[in-house]
Structure 1
């Protein structure tokens, strides 16, 4: 074999080896990136699961209350809870949505019978807390949000036969409660209308 041919062969061999080394480096980079992305995804999923699990387990604090009667009445009803969690109620239900003034118990209880959750908050609640509640309620079906005079906690969530008191609107149990109790298993008339009743919500 001539010197020129031998040199050309060595150059080709060297180029081939260099290309193999580059391909191996690219393969390693892809594997490392995939590992990092997978690990990050698993960590995010684990975090979400832990937060959701904590919120779910924290719903052990929800009060379950037996509601024995749900007749229509035009009279003022004396409810054992404030806000109420069911019972006799007005023939007209409260339209779901956001309200800036206190509502009549008897009308909202009728909405609860249809599957609504009542998010009641203390008048004078700080704006940052109100903003959180508005974001939770806005555009969401079967939620009534309103101030409630004499509330025993900053925020109280009430569905038919269920109630949870919160010190902070940013408590993850709020979302968990809504998910569990909007048209929840204890709803007497799940899916019945939450519009076409009385009241003009702002949102």
Structure 2
């Protein structure tokens, strides 16, 4: 006797037996249909899970990229301010003016202003930049002769955030920043024959002083170099 395949319909002469056979075949077909349906739903669910995972990964990556861009903008160091070289003759409250003469000398000089705002000086100028130690007066004055602005501060009063604020006013060249002992005020800005004493690092006159006296043409040697000479101890940048 040859076996009957599961999906092959058998035939019987007995009506009752035939009814059972028909029921069995229907059940087998329905079982197969349910199995195929279950497999399809399983594959469909798998594809959906894959899409959700990739969507989540893509979204997270996009968020990270956006966060990196925002952070680069927010936390990027601000570029130094720009000032017009020369000056317009503006009157800035508190600026003192002097009549210092220029000459090259050897040794130390007893200056009438402290810090000095011009006068006899060493033949070697001080390279402009930021110093965290006091610098030689005689070399710094030579830099003033070239049009630099010398920003001095009392290290006991100006540090941390206040020092960072003070640095934010500095242009990228022709400026010297250094601590100075014995200042009468927290900050003193000096240009050749001009000086401004301030007690607040947020004082808007700091920017005004740079606008008026930075790289001024009213100095003995305008536009002469402020680099390529002496780096004093404590030069940071």
Q: Same fold (TM over 0.5)?
A: yes
Would the aligned equivalents of 1:114 and 1:189 in 2 still touch at CA under 8 Å?
Answer: yes
Q: What is the TM-score with the length of structure 1 in the denominator?
A: 0.68
Partner of 1:92: 124
Please give the per-residue CA displacement for 1:142-194, whole angstroms capped at 9, x wherever unaligned.
10000000011000000000000011111110011011111214211111000
User: Are 2:236 and 1:202 equivalent residues in the alignment?
Assistant: yes
SS in 2 for 1:176: helix
Query: Radius of gyration: which is bigger?
Result: 2
1:126-145 alignment runs, 5 A limit: 126-137=159-170, 140-145=172-177
2:188 to 140, 153, 156: 156
Partner of 2:202: 170
Q: What is the TM-score with the length of structure 2 in the denominator?
A: 0.59
Would the aligned equivalents of 1:161 and 1:186 in 2 still touch at CA under 8 Å?
Answer: no
Partner of 2:92: 59
Q: Give structure 1 stretches of 5+ with no counterpart.
A: 1-55
Structure 1 residues 182 and 57: CA distance shift in structure 2, 3 A: closer
Pairwise CA RMSD: 1.6
CA distance in structure 2 between the partners assigned to 1:161 and 1:57 by the alignment: 15
Q: Structure 1 segments of 4 or more deviating over 4 A?
A: none
Bigger helix share: 1
1:100-115 alignment runs, 5 A limit: 100-115=132-147
1:147 to 152, 159, 179: 179
CA distance in structure 2 between the partners assigned to 1:183 and 1:96 by the alignment: 12
Q: Give structure 2 stretches of 5+ with no counterpart.
A: 1-88
Please give the per-residue CA displacement for 1:112-155, whole angstroms capped at 9, x wherever unaligned.
00000000000222312100122222x52110000000011000
The count of aligned residue pairs is 146
Would the aligned equivalents of 1:91 and 1:110 in 2 still touch at CA under 8 Å?
Answer: yes
Would the aligned equivalents of 1:58 and 1:173 in 2 still touch at CA under 8 Å?
Answer: no
